[in-house]
Structure 1
């Protein structure tokens, strides 16, 4: 049990600062020729999310699937700007990353190992031994698995929403050719807007799914919230 608790939890505030705020400000304010210039500003802006991801990898000695996709996303964004590719590729890339995650979540359910179970049914939060034993005693295990499968589909749909919104946001904001100052500024604006427009609604949907899982656990087991939650840790 000690090996799993040694990994440090990500700091949400630092993630926003290094992955969104600083890169956006650099792209929007320092891309002009009188400052860093188009290409140097893009490189410097991309160094922050790349550096944060690398430091997180060094701290935790592991890189999960989502972190890897985030790294690839940053790399692809830089490639589109540096090689001056058509901006349509940016919109495709923005949609592809969450779409891939959503597909993995969906497939995990058909494999019999729904990803949502790993994400939400955490032994540090829930008294899983009591929940599973009670479900077995009440012959409700299959009903619970069906609820988790449905929750997994809902989780996959949040990534579909994110993919669609990412594509529309990129098409709406980033209209200038790659390699220009305007492209950098628009890229920074898109990154900044992605948090309130996409991340917050996705988080609300995630909380709603979490509430559904907790309510399902309580309803099928007959246990109270205090009994379901793991108060020992």
Structure 2
């Protein structure tokens, strides 16, 4: 029986392929004496698009975030190649994290809240033991309240990303789409978005997950090693 390979996170490879290489191509190779405006844009977008498709095909696992990333790349390419008003770039940059944040909030009204699926699931945590301890300590309601707060915090982190993406796009990308200057500014925006948006957002998410860990430990009295599924 064939099984798909296990996906191992490779943040440095992701950073190089999806951020650094496309940015360098857009800033350095979009001149008419090199790849040209359209050629530079296509070459730059090919890296994150190709990498995203490779990951999806190889690991054969539907990933909502990865799908949004691919859609984002295709929309960016369309704006540049069809020379649309660059206001659409700012709207696109804000819309992706905004959609994720809204999806997080909407999921709280369904039987499968995203925060619970991401964090409080049997693949990561000893859910049965935790539920038993919560009942013994009469802490179930308190834990559910903390879980809901974490959901709002995560939605807030995506709201921060959406706002910053819009501001950064409006601030940096001011040249008309389809020009060498537009490509160069797009490369600068991609490069700056990592330290200005991605890293702060990652720190926020880590803080939220730490908050949840501490909440479970406080509500159950269990140590960290007792919470994790033993493999």
Q: What TM-score, normalized to structure 2?
A: 0.94
| Superposed counterparts of 1:53-132, under 5 Å | 53-132=52-131
**Deviation for aligned residue 1:42:** 0.2
Check conservation: 1:39, 1:82, Cα contact below 8 A. yes
CA deviation profile, 1:25-62 (whole Å, cap 9, x unmatched): 00000000111110000001111111001100111112
- Paired residue for 1:19? 18
Check conservation: 2:130, 2:220, Cα contact below 8 A. yes
Q: Distance in 2 between matches of 1:5 and 1:198?
A: 33
Q: Which runs of 5+ in 1 are unaligned?
A: none
- Paired residue for 1:41? 40
Check conservation: 1:114, 1:149, Cα contact below 8 A. no
**Deviation for aligned residue 1:112:** 4.2
Deviating above 4 A after TM superposition, structure 1's stretches of 4 or more consecutive aligned residues are 3-6
Check conservation: 2:22, 2:187, Cα contact below 8 A. yes
- Paired residue for 1:228? 227
**Structure 2 CA distance for partners of 1:149 and 1:206, relative to 1, 3 Å:** same
Q: Distance in 2 between matches of 1:134 and 1:75?
A: 48
SS in 2 for 1:32: coil
Q: Distance in 2 between matches of 1:54 and 1:180?
A: 28
Q: Distance in 2 between matches of 1:115 and 1:83?
A: 36
- Paired residue for 2:199? 200
CA deviation profile, 1:158-201 (whole Å, cap 9, x unmatched): 10000000000000000000000000000000000110000000
- Residue 155 in 1 paired to residue 154 in 2? yes
**Structure 2 CA distance for partners of 1:150 and 1:4, relative to 1, 3 Å:** farther
Q: Which runs of 5+ in 2 are unaligned?
A: none
Most deviating of 14-23 and 125-134? 125-134
**Deviation for aligned residue 1:147:** 1.1
**Structure 2 CA distance for partners of 1:92 and 1:118, relative to 1, 3 Å:** same
**Structure 2 CA distance for partners of 1:163 and 1:78, relative to 1, 3 Å:** same
Q: Distance in 2 between matches of 1:186 and 1:158?
A: 25
Check conservation: 1:114, 1:148, Cα contact below 8 A. no
Q: What TM-score, normalized to structure 1?
A: 0.94
Most deviating of 167-176 and 111-120? 111-120
Q: Distance in 1 between matches of 2:142 and 2:189?
A: 42
Check conservation: 2:4, 2:60, Cα contact below 8 A. no
